[in-house]
Amino acid sequence: MPYNIAMACDFFYPQPGGIESHIYQLSTKLSDRGHKVIIITHAYPTRRGVRYLTNGLKVYHIPFKVIYRESTMPTVFSAFPILRQIFIREGIEIVHGHASLSTLCHEAILHGRTMGLKTCFTDHSLFGFADAGSILTNKLLKFTLSDVGHVICVSHTCKENTVLRASLDPTSVSVIPNAVVASNFRPSPSRASTSHITIVVISRLFYNKGTDLLVAAIPRICEIHPSVHFLIAGSGPKAIDLEQMVEKFCLQDRVELIGPVRHEEVRDVMVRGHIYLHPSLTEAFGTVLVEAASCGLYIVCTAVGGIPEVLPIEMTEFAKPEEDSIVAATSRAIDAMRRGTVKTHNFHAMVKRMYSWSNIAMRTERVYDMITEVEEKALIDRLKRYYGCGVWAGKLFVMCAVIDCLIHWALEFWWPAINIDRARDWPGKGRGAVKLSGITPPVETNGAASIEIEAKEENRRKRRKGRKR
């Protein structure tokens, strides 16, 4: 049966990234399967209010303050009124949160459970257990997942990490990987000569993405292989380190820094190269590796996290997250490309067979079927789960849940659900209209303008009432 689903996450377009792409592609395929899907995220400087994307996907950009790396300020309760309005207006049945570091995800799941909605959580990242930030994040995750219907992880390594961090029953966690639209990442029909090897790097330039390793390895690789060039795309606080490295070693002719690129431009950058270098220090899955392989690039990457699960060994050259190992693995890949021992022309077809968003949507749909069949628990059962989260944390979590229930009752008293207008559904497959064509990068249906059909209809009704008076 079709469901009304709300995807909640701080990370969504126009910001590029793997989580953003995952949410968009999954939502699109679920819509194609007859479900109603909306996305709830925070406002961006160029995105406010309600937007419709090209396939009719509705996005709520809520005006919450961003404090760090596009994650909003945690307030626990202040988002409840607007989230309740959205859930009721859209007739939401399932709240699907994404990303451990997304404040909006945690709050949407908490408020959704208070309203009696079914919930699901997808984890996209790996975290440690020793530093203060990881300890706080893990405790917050344990609070949220103590009362969630089911958990999805993008790799088996991610599953093990999440089970340990949140003290979960492994049977309540499923592994559903990311995927790519292979048709959007076709290799170039005219492959460049291997006499001059181009190594591509597309990444956020942060410490955890291995930018420091990149800064140390590039001069050594350029010294060993005089005919190698680097093409680096991305932005972040470590970009200045790359620029200083290029100037220090006079590599302006061999290292091209092109800055941030839009997701629809990634393929055009990738096909300019022969090898894709990914020196990440931690990674749950690594969607960009699948995209690069689909474009026909040989992959050099660190064997960390869930990366070894992503592609078969014939597509990859693994390295340790160390400078010497990165240099050695890249040199082996360069030699293999020059000898012609790597058949990169087969990579696209292999990726197309291995990864499909239609398959991912079907598997996610089974999770939805499973959580909707579970009988709703009483409030006391929720409080018992929260109480077991720790000696002091458990009491704090119980207090948060009780206050959330009181706020819900107050909102229901002052603004009953029966008085909230229901939004009109976008016509789609399974809802009385023809399916929209293909998956494309998200673009607003009215150019840069924000479209809000319900608001316009409400204004028309008010004007009609004014004329009658």
Of 203, 232, 185, 197, residue with least CA distance to 330? 197
Give just the sign of the alpha carbon dihedral 41, 43, 45, 48.
Answer: positive
Task: Provide the token pair at 398.
Answer: 């119980």
Task: Give the rounded percent of residues in the chain with a pLDDT score beyond 70.
Answer: 90
CA atoms of 317 and 334, how far apart (whole Å): 10
What confidence score (pLDDT) does residue 343 get? 86
Q: Tens of pLDDT along 210-269?
A: 999 999 999 999 999 999 999 999 998 999 999 999 999 999 999 999 999 888 889 999
> What average pLDDT does this structure show over 296-303?
95
Q: Is the pLDDT of residue 7 over 70?
A: yes
CA atoms of 308 and 336, how far apart (whole Å): 20
Pick from 12-16, 53-57, 191-195: least confident: 191-195
Give the position of tokens 């990149």: 214
CA atoms of 85 and 69, how far apart (whole Å): 27
- Do 307 and 18 meet the contact criterion of CB atoms below 8 Å apart? no
CA atoms of 436 and 29, how far apart (whole Å): 11
- Do 99 and 124 meet the contact criterion of CB atoms below 8 Å apart? yes
- Do 144 and 110 meet the contact criterion of CB atoms below 8 Å apart? yes
pTM for the complete prediction?
0.84
CA atoms of 455 and 460, how far apart (whole Å): 9
Q: Is the pLDDT of residue 369 over 60?
A: yes
Q: Is the pLDDT of residue 320 over 90?
A: yes
Number of neighbouring beta carbons within 10 Å of residue 1: 9
What confidence score (pLDDT) does residue 466 get? 57
User: Which domains are assigned to the chain?
Assistant: 4-179+357-419 (3.40.50.2000), 185-354 (3.40.50.2000)
Q: Tens of pLDDT along 129-179?
A: 888 888 888 999 999 999 999 999 999 999 999 999 999 999 999 999 999
What confidence score (pLDDT) does residue 439 get? 40
Beta-strand runs (E) in 218-330: 228-233, 255-259, 275-278, 298-302, 316-319
CA atoms of 101 and 137, how far apart (whole Å): 7
Residue 376: burial class (beta carbons within 10 Å; 0-12, 13-18, 19+): exposed
CA atoms of 14 and 149, how far apart (whole Å): 30
- Do 305 and 289 meet the contact criterion of CB atoms below 8 Å apart? no
What confidence score (pLDDT) does residue 450 get? 39
What confidence score (pLDDT) does residue 467 get? 52
CA atoms of 402 and 408, how far apart (whole Å): 10
Q: Tens of pLDDT along 90-140?
A: 999 999 999 998 999 999 999 999 999 999 999 998 988 888 888 888 999
What confidence score (pLDDT) does residue 257 get? 94
Highest mean pLDDT among 185-189, 194-198, 399-403: 399-403
Q: Is the pLDDT of residue 25 over 90?
A: yes
What confidence score (pLDDT) does residue 143 get? 92
Task: Provide the mean pLDDT of the chain.
Answer: 88
Q: Residue 462: which pLDDT band, with cuts at 50, 70 and 90?
A: low
